[in-house]
Amino acid sequence: MSNFTIGFIGLGNMGGPMAANLAAAGHTVRGNDVAGTTAEGVAEAATIAQAVEGADVVITMLPNGAILRQVAEEAIANMAPGALLVDCSTVDVESARHVAEAAEKAGLLFVDAPVSGGIGGAQGGTLTFMAGGTEAAFKKAEPLFDIMGQKAVHCGDAGAGQAAKICNNMILGATMIATCEAFALADKLGLDRERMFDVVSTSSGYSWSMNAYCPAPGVGPKSPADNDYTPGFAAELMLKDLGLSQQAAEMANADTPMGALARELYTRFVEEEGGKGKDFSAMLPRFEKRGWQG
């Protein structure tokens, strides 16, 4: 694969290591971040225009759809026709499609490619990318996905990557709540947590929340529960994704009562019950303290 000149906008906890991995693989990477953060091997660009000018590929990793629209407008205006814009942010489907249309009008390729795998995956180059866009755009982005991650799935047209991420995380939020509820109930019924795990992890209650990311300290594989719920995936980020799922459900006229209830519980947890800054699995101690309809 020939080396690309890459403009990377958003060098935070996720974007920084992703950009550094691209630079380490031999690509020329110019980075811009509103907070002035930098990444190893990445040349600093003072403005978005400087970061994207003459770039073969521009990658964005931003906090929300409103910021993406604003950044994309400036980036697209300064990108060369035929270049590729890859957005790795997790945003609403509507914003992803809006940017895709703007990119297409400017003669650019576009892929929306939100990620799964967290900060550890960004650092280790083991992210999963859920990509939406044309086949040509995906093919051009694929070698870069191979550097930053371990898997990239082409989910469909523009917006499909965001749709896949939102649906996945709605399942994750709901199953984590159910897993935490079950451990809290097991405690009150006098059932040993290790025995509970041994049964459920090999029975029909099997899930990623139980088997790979168990919310009970000292049970199952090592997880944030074993580090005082220091975030692997923060509760406020789960709340953001559940909010996006309900925004999408409203737009698509989809009935998602479990997703809506999960958002309600995480809203309460983050805003009223000390969950902000904790891992999303810290719902378990929250349920331990509560009683029937408590």
- Where residue 53 sits, what CATH number does that domain have? 3.40.50.720
Residues 206 and 153 in one domain: no
Residues 136 and 222 in one domain: no
DSSP assigned state of 226: G
In a domain, 174, yes or no: yes
Residues 173 and 129 in one domain: no
Closest CA to 198 of 171, 219, 222, 170: 219
Residue pLDDT, tens place only, 252-273? 999 999 999 999 999 999 999 9
In a domain, 281, yes or no: yes
Q: What is the pTM of this model?
A: 0.91
Q: What is the CATH number of the domain that holds 225?
A: 1.10.1040.10
* Domains: count for the chain: 2
Please name the residues in contact with 139: beta carbons below 8 A apart, sequence gap of 6 or more: none
Q: Compute the C-alpha angle 106/101/75, nearest 5°.
A: 50
Domain boundary residue, one of 133, 157, 181: 157
Residues 132 and 253 in one domain: no
Chain Cα centroid distance, residue 118:
7
In a domain, 294, yes or no: no
CA distance 149 to 240: 23
In 3-state terms, what secondary structure has residue 55? Answer: coil
Which tokens is 204 given? 């029909």
In a domain, 115, yes or no: yes
Residues 116 and 195 in one domain: no
In a domain, 121, yes or no: yes
Residues 58 and 152 in one domain: yes
Is 294's pLDDT higher than 60? no
In a domain, 118, yes or no: yes
Band the pLDDT of 292: cuts 50, 70, 90: confident
Residues 189 and 269 in one domain: yes
CA distance 273 to 2: 51
Q: What pLDDT score was predicted for residue 27? A: 97
The predicted model gives 177-198 an average pLDDT of 97
Query: In the chain, helix, strand, coil percent, each to 5?
Result: 50, 15, 35
Residues 103 and 184 in one domain: no
Residues 62 and 142 in one domain: yes
The predicted model gives 77-83 an average pLDDT of 96
In 3-state terms, what secondary structure has residue 149? Answer: strand
**What residue numbers bound the domain in which 175 lies?**
163-289
Domain boundary residue, one of 157, 189, 222: 157
* Residues catalogued as catalytic: 165
Domain boundary residue, one of 114, 136, 157: 157
Residues 149 and 174 in one domain: no
In a domain, 82, yes or no: yes
Residue pLDDT, tens place only, 135-157? 999 999 999 999 999 999 999 99
Q: What percent of the chain has pLDDT over 90?
A: 95
Residues 170 and 134 in one domain: no
Residues 69 and 183 in one domain: no
Residue pLDDT, tens place only, 16-62? 999 999 999 999 999 999 999 999 999 999 999 999 999 999 999 99
